[in-house]
């Protein structure tokens, strides 16, 4: 049992860890780990396929870590990794139809598992506002 959080950072950590723990069975059914889930999350299906460098920046990881993670997603049939049509030296990651479905299922599982669902809509909106401002000020 975790200790009660004493700081906002500890509380954020506990929310994330509880969410991951509760969502893990659903993610496992999809063949996903948190690393592969994060990678799917970083590929927005409503945008053009991003370059691997862009996805690595979104995930705050190295290119080699993303290569390892993307290899697994390619094996699962969730993404393709192809040459960028405008720059042959760059690789882009695109969701496949099964990848879009897995991404949606994984994000739904995380949403349902999140302890923040206990808060009202207004409380969650306020929390989002505070965290968004904190992140904007950090950059």
17-56 residue pLDDT tens: 999 999 999 999 999 999 999 999 999 999 999 999 999 9
Nearest C-alpha neighbor of 38 from the set 72, 5, 7, 75: 72
Tell me: the pLDDT tens digits for 46-96? Answer: 999 999 999 999 999 998 899 999 999 999 999 999 988 888 888 999 999
Residue ranges per structural domain of the chain: 8-113
The answer to whether the CB of 95 falls within 8 A of the CB of 45 is yes
Predicted confidence at residue 85, as pLDDT, reads 83
| C-alpha R_g of the chain | 17
Which residues 6+ apart lie within 8 Å of 119 measured at CB?
127
Question: How sure is the predictor about 139, in pLDDT bands with cuts at 50, 70 and 90?
Answer: low
pLDDT of res. 138: 64
Q: Classify domain 8-113 by CATH number.
A: 1.10.10.10
């Amino acid at each position: 049992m975790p200790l009660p959080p004493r700081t906002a950072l500890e509380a954020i950590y506990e929310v994330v860890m509880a969410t991951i723990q509760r969502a893990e069975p659903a993610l496992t059914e999809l063949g996903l780990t948190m690393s592969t889930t994060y990678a799917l999350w970083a590929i927005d299906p409503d945008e053009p396929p991003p370059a691997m460098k862009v996805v690595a920046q979104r995930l705050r990881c190295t290119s080699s870590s993303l290569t390892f993670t993307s290899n697994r997603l390619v094996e699962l049939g969730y993404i393709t990794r192809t040459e960028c049509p405008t720059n042959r030296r760059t690789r882009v990651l695109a969701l496949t139809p099964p990848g879009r479905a897995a991404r949606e299922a994984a994000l739904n599982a995380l949403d349902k598992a999140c302890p923040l669902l206990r808060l009202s809509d207004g409380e969650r909106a306020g929390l989002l506002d505070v965290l968004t401002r904190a992140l904007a000020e950090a950059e």
